[in-house]
Amino acid sequence: MARKVKITGIGIYLPKRIVTASEIDMLIGAAPGWSEARSGVKQRHFIKDESASFMGAEAAKMAIEHAGMSLDDIDCIVSGSGTMEQAIPCNAALIQKELGLEHSGVPAFDINSTCLGFVAALDVISYMIDAGKYKNVLIINSEISSVGLNWRQDESSVLFGDGATAAIITKSEGSSGILTSRMETYSAGAAFSEIRGGGTKVHPRHYSEESKADYLFDMDGKAIFKMSSKLMNPFIEKLFSGTGLWMKDINMVIPHQASWAAMKIIRKKLNVEEPRFMSIIENYGNMISASIPLALYEAIKEKRIQRGDRILLLGTSAGLSIGGMVLEF
């Protein structure tokens, strides 16, 4: 069942504005050191004037260069972002325009699974590449969380950062491929992390001072944590089932950078030592769907993973969903 696909290029864009934990402490009126102790985030990037499509296009250009390709080689653009730039049209079309491909006809559409957007998009697209539908697909995860944070909810507002990643997915001629993938959604946890407003249910036309929190991110960290902890080990068992793989065969775990505390517990649950577990949250915070591909980028850059390594991408997202994938990189 392995799908012969390969990540042939990867790129990132980080907004120029860096916001430190002490700035966050001041913003929320906390004692110095509180937000870092709470979240494990020393700094994160927030947009100044960048749009999500601009960031996505910048990351894409870097990925294309990394792959040794040119823009003309891309035959499909998928946005896997969990946030929309505009209500209409889809993110991928806006990114296509930023890339200067507005007359190209290259198909552009979105796949959304919030924080699992990269994993979900890679999974879906792998079947299309494997079947020969597309050759070089650009998956872009560009997230602006900063505009939707509720600074009165310390638990969530201290966690997030902005930024974008891009990956080029190509048919693999060698051993690179997706060895297994799995996703489970438990909407019993749908209200554990949400933005109730902004869509058709609580439309922006009803915006008011009293209702403004409805348009901002709202999270019940303890509830997410409780649910994810319970789901984790049975999920991993099913993900690995039939593959002959054991956790000891995994060279690197790339988890969603949800929060420092959540990642610590997941690592213990998986019984994986620190060197096999990418944690970049202290420098970037939780970047929604861009977290997993950014951690992958960092792992490549730091030479912590090599071609041929077995990599486990793993995370939970709003929904509540849990998703994972083992790549032979």
Interaction between residue 113 and a second copy (CB under 8 A): yes
Contact segment (CB under 8 A) with a second copy among 10-18, 30-38, 213-221, 267-275 equals: 213-221
The values of phi and psi at residue 193, to 5°, are -145, 115
C-alpha 1/C-alpha 286 separation (Å) is 32
Contact segment (CB under 8 A) with a second copy among 119-127, 166-174, 271-279, 301-309 equals: 119-127
The values of phi and psi at residue 137, to 5°, are -105, 135
Question: Among residues 127 and 308, whose Cβ is nearest to a second copy?
Answer: 127
Nearest distance in Å: CB 202, a second copy: 7
Question: Among residues 21 and 106, whose Cβ is nearest to a second copy?
Answer: 106
Cis peptide leading into 204, omega within 30 of 0? no
Counting Cα atoms < 13 Å in the Cβ hemisphere of 166 gives 33
Interaction between residue 94 and a second copy (CB under 8 A): yes
Interaction between residue 317 and a second copy (CB under 8 A): yes
- Cα torsion 144, 149, 154, 159 to 10°: value is -10
Beta-bridged to residue 11, according to DSSP, are 166
Residues 22-51 touching a second copy, rule: CB under 8 A, are 51
Question: Among residues 65 and 102, whose Cβ is nearest to a second copy?
Answer: 102
Q: Are 259 and 220 in contact (CB under 8 A)?
A: no
Mask: binding to a second copy, 275-314, rule CB under 8 A, as x and -?
A: ----------------------------------------
Interaction between residue 58 and a second copy (CB under 8 A): no
Which tokens go with 250? 């995994």
C-alpha 135/C-alpha 21 separation (Å) is 43
Interaction between residue 131 and a second copy (CB under 8 A): yes
Residues 153-212 touching a second copy, rule: CB under 8 A, are 183-188, 190, 193-205, 207, 212
